[in-house]
Structure 1
């Protein structure tokens, strides 16, 4: 496979993951962190870092909006619930010092 095709396929897979996470608003970021070690915010940070590595300046809120499909504060108001004590304890165990 040539490099251009590989990059296009990787980009398509990323967009599909992004869109899937936009649709699955029932899945909270803390659940993603507890199960997979990353969340929507991680994806937005990685996007922002990749942009910077390529000389493109994207601020944190713009990167988050690209991942969430809306401003982060709006997403939180619409979809984020308070983490349960169990979720918080699991997060502390799986991400000490975070």
Structure 2
């Protein structure tokens, strides 16, 4: 992608991000905890990254507005309709993932 100009690269990145949001929206069965276990990010992380990007550019974007954009609806509504309680197996896998990150941080 280095051969692309900045504007084109930004447009492609934005299009890929929008496609990621569409993909996540089509797969509401994939819980945030599953994303955190497998990829170390979730929909909330995307929301926080949007807020951070806005702040870096001097734009105002609050976290709840960012979450509504990422989730496609108010977070409370999405949570009520689609979020399942984490299973003991998911919680254990998440804790194991966090322990691995802590250990990697200690040895790095």
| TM-score of Structure 1 vs Structure 2, range by shorter chain | over 0.9
2:15 corresponds to 1:16:
no
How much is the aligned-residue C-alpha RMSD, in angstroms?
A: 1.4
Which gives a bigger RCO, structure 1 or 2 (Cα 8 Å, sep 6+)?
A: 1
How many residue pairs get matched? 98
Runs (4+) of structure 1 exceeding 3 A deviation are none
The equivalent residue for 1:29 is 32
Paired residue secondary structure (2:73) = coil
Deviation at 1:68, TM superposition (A): 0.2
Give the Cα separation in 2 of the matches to 1:62 and 1:11: 18
Q: Which has the larger radius of gyration?
A: 2
The equivalent residue for 1:83 is 86
TM-score by length of 2: 0.87
TM-score by length of 1: 0.95
Question: Where does the alignment leave 5 or more consecutive residues of structure 2 unmatched?
Answer: 103-108
